[in-house]
A and B are shown apart, each in its own frame.
Chain A
Amino acid sequence: MALLEIRDLHASVDGNEILKGIALTINRGEVHAIMGPNGSGKSTLAKVLAGHPSYEVTGGEVIYEGKNLLELSPDERAREGVFLAFQYPVEVPGVSNAQFLRLAYNERQKHRGEEELDPLEFKDYLKERAKVVQMDSSFMSRSVNEGFSGGEKKRNEILQMAVLEPTLAVLDETDSGLDIDALRIVAEGVNQLRTEDNAIILVTHYQRLLNYIVPDFVHVLANGRIVREGGKELALELEEKGYDWIKNVGKAGASLAPQAG
């Protein structure tokens, strides 16, 4: 059974349809890249999977581990192992990273019927996990993302992934805003977190990240539809040709859409 199966997914925001029929099948152990020009709907797809309340699903199905994902509340999804690394992580003043992560971790543990950690135990665990993204422990006592640089915020997202060990991780442009060293650290971190049991969706605009995290499949999104699919070589092709050739594909009236008549 596939880990995630998206069937003809339609979603809109404020009455505007953004996703216009997405189909995607993801198995455990796979890494899928979703690429596409700005505004094509990549973040929308990521947020719909996470259950963001601003996005309304108007059609289709999402089956995760055999369950109807769309029926689960966002927090239930997270406890069931769905994780979204945000393109723009928000700052949470007054709440320390360690405090927040411990709460999230313990919610997850409780859900799995596993042991919760007290602050001291968690501190050790967090220190261990922080190595995955080479994050200094000084970040743990600071407020979540507050005053973090763009790159530090992205690393903090991957730290959260390392702590929560999701089954399905959606990383939305985790590479953007990272310099080459930070990109390497983040990519190595993600690679360490890859297992046979989990799956990763890498949403990215550039091919750059895919040199470090090699995807099994590449899907190209344009205007709310998947317009091309292939193996990792598709990313290279996109790198060469850019997105211009794709801009009109998938728009109403273009080849993939039924002609209005």
Chain B
Amino acid sequence: MVAEATKEKSIYAEMLAALQGRLAGREASWTKRLREDAIERFEQLGFPTTFDEEWKYTNLAALAKQQFAPGFDSKHVELDRSALQPFAYKEAKGSQLVFVNGVYSPELSSVEALPQGVIAENLADALSGERAEVVREKLARYADYQENALVALNTAFVSEGAFLLIPRGVRVETPIHLLFLSAPQSSPTVSFPRVLIVAEARGEAILIESYASTEEGAYWTNAVVEVSLEDGARLEHYKVQRESTEAFHTATTQVELGASSSFDTTTITLGAELSRHNINVRMNARGAECRVDGLYMISTGQHTDTHSLIDHAEAYCSSRQLYKGILDGKSRAVFNGKVFVREGAMQTDAQQTNRNLLLSNEARVDTKPQLEIFADDVKCAHGATVGQLEEEELFYLISRGLRPDLAQNLLTYGFAEEVINKIRVESIKAELDEAVLNRLHAKL
């Protein structure tokens, strides 16, 4: 006999009770309702399974089964600023918010370099502080927790994370760094980073969102980032995912673009045993543009999945997407890129490319670029490739005296450079150059 209605509650309901206990009294009624709504939705949806079309190639069974402890309960991790060095960027010394196991660390954070009026603070503070109304207006507006269980779960635990407000017309030159650092505990923990970024009309900023771990270990990061760019605002965004190779990383980046706004994002995926990134950009007003790029570079034991949705909901918008993948050993990548051009979105200019380089016979890629056009007078192109290094390119390098392994590494590095080269924050670029070369065991 199959039990139907008596679906067992997950460990997360209990975990939420613990969070609410900690927050007792300090919580607004709307966040309380939001949480309860979201956890209920999560319990209804449950973790996605591979029967779900959107999760066909990515199996969360191991994650669903794992008994995670809440990161907000983990014992205080002693970290000083020097321990932060390998994960920090010098450009953002005075503009970084640091989270350890999902919990904001005021001692490690600093926003002194940010101009007057720019808000960069722990979301938990924003929820209860003077900006609560702004947050309320935007939070959970874009990332839909009705359809996505992982977003629902994150929303249920909404608290720690970042709130960023770039006021009207303000241009912030200093990159702002959100560092989500995990310090693995004896038993695996889960953290729910939540980020809300609002750039008012013509506001401009550079944001780095990075995930790293102090050492190898098992844990789960389940993040949601919501970005709202108002008319003419610009955001240059970098996501650098270097979680432990024993970790799970699931994240949704949900972006809403106003008229003539510009969103330029690059996602670098090097870490995690299993990672899934949903990146959705809704171009909701005329003249918006986005560039959605990524590089994943994984090896034996790693699985990464990118699902992107570029939604041309209005006319005169342009999107460019370039995702490149390098797979070594027994690893697997999934790329699913949808571009929607909705009715009336004339003069849409959309391009999408996914290129994959397989360095081993055991690596596997499933790529599916999808273009759905419901408008006339549009310019759209998409394509995907999966291949090995070009024999003729290899021979060319070898014929100049390079040993075959060095030639291979150089070509692989060159493949990655197309994405890395566009990064305008020098120390991210340097970090990635080094990471790529380390992966290749090469010194150039």
| Residues of A that sit less than 8 Å from B by CB | 50-54, 73-75, 77-79, 83-84, 86, 89-95, 99-101, 103-104, 107-108, 111, 143, 160, 164
Contacts and interface: CB of A to CB of B under 8 A. Distances in A.
> What 8 pairs between A and B have smallest CB-CB spacing?
A94-B414, A94-B417, A78-B401, A104-B400, A95-B414, A107-B401, A79-B401, A75-B398
B410 A103 contact: yes
Interface string B294-312: 0000000000000000000
Interface in B392-426: 392-393, 395-404, 406-407, 410-411, 413-418, 421
Interface in B254-302: none
Contact of B444 (A74, A103, A160): A103
B390 interface: yes
Contacts of B400: 78, 83, 100-101, 104, 107, 160, 164
A258 B411 CA distance: 47
B396 A75 contact: no
Interface of B: 390-393, 395-404, 406-407, 410-411, 413-418, 421, 444
Contacts of B406: 103, 107
Contact of B401 (A54, A92, A108): A108
Nearest to A54: B391
Contacts of A104: 397, 400-402
A145 to B, nearest CB: 9
Contacts of B418: 93-94
Contacts of A73: 398, 404
A84 B421 contact: no
A211 B423 CA distance: 49
Contact of A86 (B396, B403, B414): B396
Nearest to A53: B395
21 contacts: A52-B395, A73-B398, A73-B404, A74-B395, A75-B398, A75-B403, A83-B400, A90-B392, A90-B393, A92-B397, A93-B414, A94-B413, A94-B417, A95-B413, A95-B414, A99-B410, A100-B400, A103-B444, A104-B400, A104-B402, A143-B414
A73 to B, nearest CB: 8
Contacts of A93: 414-415, 417-418
Contacts, number: 82
A69 B82 CA distance: 56
Contacts of B396: 86, 89-90, 92
A119 to B, nearest CB: 10
A164 B399 CA distance: 11
Contact of A95 (B392, B401, B417): B417
Residue of A50, A52, A74, A86 with most chain B CB atoms under a 10 A cut-off: A74
Secondary structure call for the B interface: helix
A58 to B, nearest CB: 20
A89 B391 CA distance: 13
Contact of B410 (A52, A79, A100): A100
A38 to B, nearest CB: 20
Contacts of A160: 400
A89 B403 CA distance: 19
A101 B396 CA distance: 12
Nearest to A110: B401
Residue of B392, B395, B415 with most chain A CB atoms under a 10 A cut-off: B395
Contacts of B413: 94-95
A73 B406 CA distance: 14
Nearest to A80: B401
A50 B392 CA distance: 13
Contacts of A143: 414
B414 A107 contact: no
A78 B414 contact: no
B395 A92 contact: no
B398 A78 contact: yes
B416 A94 contact: yes
Contacts of A78: 398-401
Contacts of B398: 73-75, 78
Contacts of A51: 399
Contacts of A94: 413-418, 421
Contacts of A107: 400-403, 406
B266 to A, nearest CB: 15
Given A89-B396, A164-B401, 13 more contacts: A50-B399, A52-B399, A53-B395, A78-B401, A86-B399, A92-B397, A94-B413, A95-B411, A95-B414, A107-B401, A107-B403, A111-B401, A164-B400
Contacts of A164: 400-401
Contacts of B410: 92, 95, 99-100, 103
A33 B70 CA distance: 76
B16 to A, nearest CB: 47
A100 B397 contact: yes
B426 to A, nearest CB: 16
Contacts of A83: 400
B436 to A, nearest CB: 10
Contacts of B415: 93-94
A54 B394 CA distance: 13
Nearest to A84: B399
A22 B317 CA distance: 62
Nearest to A109: B401
Nearest to A86: B396
Nearest to A160: B400
Residue of A75, A90, A93, A160 with most chain B CB atoms under a 10 A cut-off: A75
A43 B12 CA distance: 69
